[in-house]
Amino acid sequence: MNGLLVACLLTPMMTAILAFLWPGGRVIKGAVSVCGTVLLSVFAALLLRQVWTDGPVSAQMGGWEAPMGITLVADHLSAMLVMVTAIVGLAVSFFALTDIDEARAKGGFDTFFQILLTGIVGAFLTGDLFNLYVWFEVMLISSFALIVLGGDKVQLDGAVKYVAINLVSTVLLLTAIGLVYGMAGTLNMADLNGSLAELPDQSLVTVVSVLFLIAFGIKAAVFPLYFWLPASYHTLPISIAAVFAALMTKVGVYALIRTFTLIFTPESDMIATVVLVVALLTMLTGILGAISHTNIRRILSYHVIGSIGFMLLGLGLGSPLAMAASIFYMMQGILVKALLFMIVGVIEKRGNSSELSELGGLYRSHPGFSILYLLAALALIGIPPLSGFWAKLMVLEAGIEHQAWWVIALVLLASLLTFIPLMRIWFEAFWKAAPRSDDAPVKEPELSNAASGSAARSESMQLAPVVALSAVLLLIGLAPASLISLTDQAAAGVLNVDAYLQVVLGSGAAPIEEMKP
């Protein structure tokens, strides 16, 4: 029994309930939400420390031993992802205090946001395939609610696409799970390890693995299945877009990594090749999409897709080094995406637009904030000594180890191309002179003292999480050693599942307990 696992899951769930039932306005509910994420961060940090020192931990729900009951399990990868989810959740819930308006808060923003976190944490921690489906649905339903919250026409239109494609993915996932149960007779992921490979008829196994690939691929927005993402993300309020862009797609990546190392043995070369090709194409199309757009939010949406490609390379190459590189990229990518989307939120507030042609002169008016953007952008591009550099260095090392020269060439090309859209934002929004706008009257003199004071306060409250996330990223960049050692352990744990099996199933076949009265 490990209480930390349950605590990580229950904290956001209880926070959701409290945020809804607690009487009060935007500030009270937001404060409840922030407190909840602080608590979640504490539990996640404790869990990470325990996993780091003692190896994977598990908890059996209701005392029913695996594979009979539902198991929660955290290995290095899960614990790291829960930690980074808590950090992003904390930053976004703080950012949302001033970003989300009273109407959306009344519609239940904080509740749905916390339920979304519950779903994400649950998906990272569960050790049961059907339970994974349930957490995916928890995540999905709350994301549906968030995506239509207080929506105008354009937001509704984006929401329809998001909902439709995600429902298709859900149905595919459910069918695949049904087929797995029919073949193996169990849905515990540790118990499934190896049991599908022993089946005499492997053709159905291949079909099911492709079903999983498509279902999780839609969630992760990989190459041919990503169209819903740029159609919906740019219509959302920035706090919601930030948490979606940072976390939602990564749950799909995590599920892909988990299923294709634990359930489907990596021997099936075909799937590995498919994943590799898909990863490279995702990378390239994401970057090219980013280059072709002029709206900052769309550019970043395509960047989200591009980075998914990097995260899947590890699964495609399949070596510990490549997997470690992917995991490092995932951690860094989650943080940097959340940071960039929040920065865009601040840009929009100051420039009243997210269209590059209508922005400008931000460096002259806000030099400190501009440096923050530059740091985040350079970290994403991978300029040493910022965090992205280590991620890309590890990817390249893995490529060299495999002597996969065309992978290296494409990764380098994609990294170079990443430069273009991010620097274009820099030159257009920050560097060039502000466009002369005749129709936008200068509002500032009209503000009374009190109003301008509250505006300044809200601005500094939005900057706080931006600065904090930048500091975390800078720290990762300047002292990457501990994170690299952690990702190495995570990759080893993902590829060599013995410790995972041991902690879930226990040593030897545990006798089924006498049924309780």
Partner 1 sequence: MNSIIFRTVSRLLMGLMLLFSLFLLWRGHNEPGGGFIGGLVAAAGLVVYGLADGPKSMRLILRADPGAIALTGLLIAVIAGLMPVVGGSDFLTGLWLFIGATPTDKGLALGTPLLFDIGVYLAVVGGVVGMVIAIEESL
Partner 2 sequence: MEVLFGILAGVLMAGGVWLILSRNLLKFLFGLVLISNVANLVIFASGGVTEGSPPLVGKSGIVEGVANSLPQALVLTAIVIGFGLVSFTLTLALRAWQSIGTTHVEEMCLSEQRAGATDENGGVLSVDDYAQLERARTVNSEQSMEPGR
Q: Which residues bind partner 1 (CB under 8 A)?
A: 1, 3, 6, 10, 13-14, 16-17, 20-21, 59-63, 108, 111, 516-517
DSSP structure string for 290-354: HHT--BHHHHHHHHHHHHHHHHHHHHHH-SHHHHHHHHHHHHHHHHHHHHHHHHHHHHHHHHS--
Nearer to partner 2, 442 or 512 (CB): 512
214 binds partner 2 (CB under 8 A): no
Q: Nearest 5°: CA angle at 366, between 364 and 368? A: 115
Among 53, 62, 153, 450, binds partner 2 (CB under 8 A): 153
- Site stretch for partner 2 (CB under 8 A), options 109-117, 150-158, 316-324, 433-441: 150-158
* Residue 502 beta carbon to partner 1: minimum distance, rounded to whole angstroms: 19
* Residue 411 beta carbon to partner 2: minimum distance, rounded to whole angstroms: 28
Residue at 239: amino acid letter: S
Nearer to partner 2, 94 or 135 (CB): 135
Nearer to partner 2, 29 or 234 (CB): 234
* Residue 184 beta carbon to partner 2: minimum distance, rounded to whole angstroms: 10
Nearer to partner 2, 166 or 370 (CB): 166
Among 231, 473, 476, 505, binds partner 2 (CB under 8 A): 231
Long-range contacts of 468-472 (CB under 8 A, 24+ apart): 468/91, 469/87, 469/91, 469/335, 469/338, 469/339, 469/342, 470/339, 470/372, 470/375, 470/376, 472/87, 472/335
* Residue 111 beta carbon to partner 1: minimum distance, rounded to whole angstroms: 7
Report the site for partner 2 in 241-300 (rule: CB under 8 A): 294-295
Long-range contacts of 331-334 (CB under 8 A, 24+ apart): 331/80, 331/81, 331/84, 331/476, 331/483, 331/487, 332/379, 332/387, 332/388, 332/390, 332/391, 332/473, 332/476, 333/250, 333/307, 333/391, 334/84, 334/85, 334/88, 334/246, 334/247, 334/250
Query: How many residues make contact with partner 2 (CB under 8 A)?
Result: 45
* Residue 296 beta carbon to partner 1: minimum distance, rounded to whole angstroms: 33
Nearer to partner 1, 72 or 321 (CB): 72
- Residue 443 contacts which entry, partner 1, partner 2, none (Cβ below 5-8 A, type-dependent): none
348 binds partner 2 (CB under 8 A): no
Strands, E assignment, 21-85: 57-60, 71-74
175 binds partner 2 (CB under 8 A): yes
Q: How far apart are CA 398 and CA 413, in angstroms?
A: 16
148 binds partner 2 (CB under 8 A): yes
- Residue 41 contacts which entry, partner 1, partner 2, none (Cβ below 5-8 A, type-dependent): none
* Residue 99 beta carbon to partner 2: minimum distance, rounded to whole angstroms: 19
* Residue 515 beta carbon to partner 1: minimum distance, rounded to whole angstroms: 11
440 binds partner 2 (CB under 8 A): no
Nearer to partner 2, 34 or 187 (CB): 187
- Residue 46 contacts which entry, partner 1, partner 2, none (Cβ below 5-8 A, type-dependent): none
Nearer to partner 1, 121 or 342 (CB): 121
Residues 419 and 427 sit within 8 Å (Cβ to Cβ): no
Long-range contacts of 345-354 (CB under 8 A, 24+ apart): 345/95, 345/99, 345/238, 345/239, 345/242, 345/462, 346/459, 346/462, 346/463, 346/466, 347/296, 347/373, 347/429, 348/238, 348/296, 349/459, 349/462, 351/429, 352/440, 354/234, 354/295, 354/296, 354/297
Would you tell me which residues interact with partner 2 (CB under 8 A)?
Answer: 130, 133-134, 137, 140-141, 144-145, 148, 152-161, 163-164, 167-168, 170-171, 174-175, 177-179, 181-183, 187, 230-232, 234-235, 294-295, 355, 357, 514-515
